[in-house]
Structure 1
Amino acid sequence: MPKKFSEQEKQWISKKLFEEGKRCFEAAGLRKTSIEDLTKACGIAQGSFYMFFNSKEELFYHILLEEEALIRNRLLASLNRSELVTKESIHQFLIESFRLLGESPMVRQMYLEGEFAQLVRKLPPELLEHNFSDDADALIPIIHHWQAAGILAHTKPELIVSMIRALVLLTLHKQEIGPGIYSDTISFMLDIVAEGMYAKRDLGGEIIR
């Protein structure tokens, strides 16, 4: 039977599991990290792990949420709403999004190292849906800024969010695209997307094509 912990102990263990989970996942990935690896570092029995998380995938997911929230906050902070929206500013925003995602070891593990499929298999659908909602909530202010400048003004914001997510999910296919040409392909594709978005801007009721 798992040991009973005081509230103070629970807070310490939860914090320690986050710290050790982040360290282990970044170093070895989700698949190669075991429950024993996590609990040994925290000084608790393996069975006690399940008092805090239902699986190592759930712990990975919650650490990932924190990481993605930091990235979203950095992107929002970089958005200058007083600047004119141009093709270049849209392209730069998309490139910066990919750069920040690519620099995060946790995000890189999920997308580039192929851990995404395991998360989808193991996590309850409601947790994944929560992640989609967080993405939408963070991107909506940026999309409203674009639409106020006439960029895709008559397109549902949720559809634009979905398009951006689809672009990010292309990172799952780095090997198929080809590692040697992947970065140039992504940059070229984002440039075309930005140009297409800007070309269809609505200026005072007149859509420029």
Structure 2
Amino acid sequence: MEDKKTEIFNNGKAIFSTKGFKQTNVSDITKAAGIAVGTFYNYFSSKEKLFLEIFLEENVKLKKSIMKSIDLNEEPLPLIKKLIALNINGMNSNPILKEWFNKDVFFKIEQQYREENGVEQVDFLYDSFAELFRSWQAEGKIRNDLDVELIMAFFTGIIIIDTHKDEIGIQHFPQIMDYMAEFVMKGLTDHPQAKPM
């Protein structure tokens, strides 16, 4: 049974990567996997559910590779700017993760994620960076009177801004993201709760 689920997953990933989320349908995946359409629904309740699982796996791989590629001892502001740039570049170069920038697709992904994990849980982009913020709080590099989830939400907000380039004005990118990261980090470091470094 696990073999069939793996076949569906792997074929789904390959087809989503080449055709995109919207252009892929369940029958494309089942045909490639050599199974009946009904069998698909024994493992995944919908195309969205399969895509979400693939998206989350790819997202975790990207975040792990980013964390391995950086120097965690670097000062917070340059490190955060690097993390944001690596994240956006990694998402843009991965056909599955690139769907994040397609508003219709992202809405469906987010909706599926909320249904499975609750309304409060939408932090699937930056979860792996939470430990970094906790360690900075423990070391006094950033203020510790704010919940890490709130801090993460600031940076999720910065990433989401990238999906609204057209409305904001593409000529302002990537500078707007750099400045927003700088302003947020200034608010986190220039505060009595953060010890001078």
Partner residue of 1:39?
30
* Cα RMSD (Å): 2.8
Alpha-carbon distance change, 120 to 187 in structure 1, aligned in 2, over 3 angstroms: same
Is 1:113–2:88 an aligned residue pair? no
Identity %: 24
CA contact (8 A) 1:36 1:46 kept: yes
Supply the AA of the counterpart residue of 1:202.
A
Alpha-carbon distance change, 86 to 124 in structure 1, aligned in 2, over 3 angstroms: closer
Give the TM-score of the pair, scaled to structure 2.
0.82
Partner residue of 1:52?
43
Unmatched 5+ residue regions in structure 1?
A: 1-9
How far did 1:113 drift?
1.8
Q: Which has the larger radius of gyration?
A: 1
Match of 2:149 among 151, 158, 163: 158
Give the TM-score of the pair, scaled to structure 1.
0.78
**How many residue pairs are counted as aligned between the two chains?**
194
Deviation track 1:98-142 (CA, whole Å, cap 9, x = no partner) reads: 222332221211x21221112344566124669646556522211
C-alpha separation in 1, matches of 2:112 and 2:175: 33
How far did 1:87 drift?
2.6
C-alpha separation in 1, matches of 2:189 and 2:114: 38
C-alpha separation in 1, matches of 2:87 and 2:116: 25
Match of 1:93 among 83, 101, 105: 83
Match of 1:176 among 161, 167, 171: 167
How far did 1:57 drift?
0.3
C-alpha separation in 2, matches of 1:107 and 1:128: 22
CA contact (8 A) 2:13 2:54 kept: yes
Is 1:193–2:184 an aligned residue pair? yes
